[in-house]
Each structure stands twice: as C-alpha cells, then as structure tokens.
Amino acid sequence: MAKIKTPAMEKIEKKNAKRKKPVKSTPARESWKRFKRNPTALIGLAVVCVLILIAVFAPLIAPYGYKTQDYSAMMQAPSSTHWFGTDQFGRDIFSRVIYGTRYSLIIALFCTIAAFFSGGLLGIIAGYCGGKVDTVIMRIMDVFQSIPMIMMAMCIVAVLGNGIPQLVAAIMFASMPTMARNNRAAILRVRGSDYIESSEAIGVNQFQMIVKHMIPNAVGVMVIYFVGFLAVSIMMMSSMSYIGVGLAAPTPEWGLILNDGKAYLTSAPYMMLFPALMIMVTCFAFNLMGDGLRDAFDPRLK
C-alpha cells in the first residue's frame, strides 16, 4: 500500500510478485545481497572462478605439455598453432601460462593460509589480550617487518635451495607483520563493541567470548584481508621467481616465465607480455573481489 503510486513502486511490486517465499534475513545473507548488487565485485568473482576452472582443467585446455620442447618451433611469434608463441626452448607459452595458473593459485593459497595461521593468529592473540602480550607480539612483528622480503628469501634459498616450501616460508615470514596487524585491528574493533560487554555481564567466560562472539563477527573483516592477500602473494611469488629466488625451472610459474623472456624483451616482447597480463588480471580480479567484500560487510553502506 502507498499514498502515491510511482513507476518505481510498480517495478518493485512486479519483482516481489515473482519471488516465492520470504527468506530469512541473517546478517550473512544481507552481506551477500549487497555483494551481488556491486557489478565490479561480481566481475572480480567471475574472473576468479574462471581462473579456478583453468587451473583445474589445465591439462584439457593446454594443447601442449608445459615441458614439451619442439626444437623446430623455437622463438616463434604468436600464431594459430601457438597462440602465445614459443620460447627459446620451443615450449608453447600458452600451455605454460595455463599450467602456471595452477601453481599461482595453489601456492598463493598455501602462502595465505601459512601467513594467516602464523601472523594472523599472533595478531588475534595480541588484539584479544592487550597489554604486555600485545606489545611484545607487535614489537616482534616489527622486527620481522624490518627485514626486506627479498633478502629473507635469498637467505632461505641460499641455505635450502629453490622450491615450493622455501618460497612459502619466505613469503610467510615477510607477510606475518601485515597479517598480524590486520587481524589485531579486526579483533580490536570487535572487542570494543557493546555486545562484548553485554556478554561479559551475563557471565560468558573468555573462551566462549572468543569463539562465539568475537571470531564470528571478526571473520568478515578477516576474509577481506585473506582475499586481498591472495593477490599480494601472487605478486610476491612472481617477483621472487623473476629474480631467481623463487621456484626452479622448468616450473611454469608466471614469474619464471617472465624471467625466461627477460633477455628477449626487445626482440620477442610477447614472451613477457602474456605472463605479465595473467599476473595483472589475476591480481586485479582478487582486488575487485576484496573491495566488493569490504563494501558488502561494511554496515555503514546499508
């Protein structure tokens, strides 16, 4: 019912008539509704889904193996048989880039999980406990932050050689401080809320407080940091492989592919162009998704 009928009202009535039954309005559902309304966020999500599919179905999509060398087709520009061209060993760049998606996404995930459970957890503890514990943990994080990531990676590689665990370890140590700081902020924001005080007043103990009230409410913000960090790890990973302290050849990781093409930048720019584009698109997609999540969870935009 209304006082005046406007065209906007009729549009909404038509929309509501199509809907079957009223759905429960939990905060999670409200956030998802807000996310859906954001076009850039949906684009980010779509691209990420496509990338995941590429990673899963890589063997079906890539026409060649990532190691397959064809000496009769070395240094070829993009053509109908080799969409992204071939490198100096006759390997199809398109296939390498496709397989590279697997490495990038999976290693990024490992790095983020590792950083989350090390730095992130420390941040949660610092935020919750406050006082001396907080100070000690955050000052230790400051020490880690003062060591340049590349240097740390080089030291680790010098001792243990190239490889996935070494890469993950280097990225984990490098990103612990930021993860700690972000999660600490997330917990502090929740800890200052009135409903935490209200729970204390009814006698909820510390453990229940963290598990039932603080973490569920801080999770939204932490998810945003998690997704954002996936983009950051991909950048870090590629940078390290580019300078040789990441993964070892012939792994088709995008940074390594970039490295391969370094010497031929002027003569065969396509060798660097495509892996660079992939890195850019992937990071962009994760960032769009992360921004969309932040807007969806932010109650002020309601």
Partner 1 sequence: MSENILKVENLVIHYETDEEVVEAVNNISFEIKKGEVLGLVGETGAGKTTTALGIMGLLPDKVGHVIQGKIELAGENLFEKTAREMRKIRGKKVSMIFQDPMTALNPVKTIGDQISEVVLLHNHCSKAEALKRAQEMLAMVGIVPERYKDYPHQFSGGMKQRIIIAIALACEPELLIADEPTTALDVTIQAQILDMMRSLQSKHGTSMILITHDLGVVAEMCDHCAVMYAGELVEYGTVEEVFDHPKHPYTKALYQSIPSLDKDVERLHVVPGMVTDPSNLPSYCSFADRCDEKGEGCKMEDPEMICLSEDHCVKCLKYAKENITKEWKEK
Partner 2 sequence: MENLVEIKNLKKYFSTPRGELHAVDNVTLNIEKGKTIGIVGESGCGKSTLGKTLMRLYNPTSGEILYNGEDIANMPTKKFKKNYRSSIQMIFQDPYASLDPRMSVLQLIEEPIKVNKKGLSKAEATVKAKEMMDLVGLAARLEGSYPHELDGGRRQRIGIARALSLDPDFIVCDEPVSALDVSIQAQILNLLQDLQKERNLTYMFITHDMSVVKHISDDIAVMYLGRLIEKCPANEIFKNTIHPYSQALLSAIPIPNVHVKKERMILKGELTSPIDPKPCCRFAARCPYTMNECMEKEPELRELKPNHFVACHCAEQFVK
**Cβ 221 to partner 2 shortest distance, Å:** 13
Cβ–Cβ contacts within 10 Å for residue 109, how many?
Answer: 13
Residue 103 · residue 247 · CB < 8 Å: yes
Looking at the chain, how many residues does it have? 302
Site for partner 2 in 19-58 (CB under 8 A): 24-28, 30
Minimum CB–partner distance for residue 299 and partner 2 (Å): 8
Which of 175, 217, 233, 238 is close enough to bind partner 2 by CB under 8 A? Answer: 217
Residue 243 interacting with partner 1 (CB under 8 A): no
Binding partner 2 by CB under 8 A: which of 5, 146, 161, 194? 194
Taking CB within 5 to 8 Å according to partner kind, which of partner 2, partner 1, none is near residue 217? partner 2
* Per CB under 8 A, 135 contacts partner 2: no
Helix axes 215-242, 270-297, angle to 10 degrees: 170
Handedness of CA 249, 254, 260, 263 (dihedral sign): negative
Question: Which of 71, 105, 66 has its CA nearest to residue 90?
Answer: 71
Q: Which of 29, 32, 37, 155 binds partner 1 (CB under 8 A)?
A: 37
Given partner 2, partner 1, none, residue 117, with its beta carbon under 5 to 8 Å by kind, binds none
Q: Least CB distance from residue 128 to partner 2, whole Å?
A: 16
Q: Say whether residue 216 binds partner 2 (CB under 8 A).
A: yes
Amino acid sitting at position 180? A
Least gap, CB of 35 to partner 1 (angstroms): 13
Q: Which of 9, 106, 151, 263 is in the footprint of partner 1 by CB under 8 A?
A: 9
Structure tokens at 63: 């026409």
4 binds, among partner 2, partner 1, none (CB under 5 to 8 A by kind): partner 1
Chosen from partner 1, partner 2, none, partner binding at 37 (C-beta under 5 to 8 Å by type): partner 1
**Is residue 210 involved in binding partner 2 (CB under 8 A)?**
no
Interacting residues toward partner 2 by CB under 8 A: 24-28, 30, 193-195, 197-205, 208, 213, 216-217
Interface residues toward partner 1, by CB under 8 A: 1-4, 6, 8-9, 12, 37
